[in-house]
Protein backbone atom coordinates (compact mmCIF):
# COMPACT_ATOMS: atom_id res chain seq x y z
CA UNK A 1 0.00 0.00 0.00
CA UNK A 2 1.03 3.63 -0.31
CA UNK A 3 1.13 3.94 3.49
CA UNK A 4 3.58 1.04 3.81
CA UNK A 5 5.76 2.52 1.05
CA UNK A 6 5.78 5.90 2.80
CA UNK A 7 6.78 4.16 6.05
CA UNK A 8 9.58 2.32 4.22
CA UNK A 9 10.97 5.56 2.76
CA UNK A 10 10.74 7.24 6.17
CA UNK A 11 12.61 4.32 7.76
CA UNK A 12 15.36 4.48 5.12
CA UNK A 13 15.65 8.25 5.64
CA UNK A 14 16.04 7.80 9.41
CA UNK A 15 18.71 5.12 8.91
CA UNK A 16 20.63 7.40 6.53
CA UNK A 17 20.50 10.27 9.05
CA UNK A 18 21.70 8.01 11.87
CA UNK A 19 24.54 6.67 9.69
CA UNK A 20 25.53 10.23 8.82
CA UNK A 21 25.65 11.20 12.50
CA UNK A 22 27.72 8.10 13.24
CA UNK A 23 30.24 8.97 10.50
CA UNK A 24 30.56 12.52 11.83
CA UNK A 25 31.05 11.22 15.37
CA UNK A 26 33.74 8.76 14.23
CA UNK A 27 35.56 11.32 12.07
CA UNK A 28 35.60 13.92 14.86
CA UNK A 29 38.69 13.87 17.11
Q: Evaluate if pTM is beyond 0.75.
A: no
Size of the chain, expressed as the number of residues it contains: 29
CA 28 to CA 19: how far, in whole Å? 14
What integer pLDDT is reported at residue 29 of this predicted model?
79
CA atoms within 13 A on the CB side of 3: 0
pLDDT band at 2 (very low <50, low <70, confident <90, very high): confident
- For the chain, the distance separating the N- and C-terminal CA atoms, rounded to the nearest angstrom, is 45
Enclosing H/E stretch for 27: helix 2-27
Averaged pLDDT of the chain: 94
Q: How confident is the model at residue 10 (pLDDT cuts 50, 70, 90)?
A: very high
What's the pLDDT score for residue 26? 94
Amino acid sequence: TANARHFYYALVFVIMVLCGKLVVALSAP
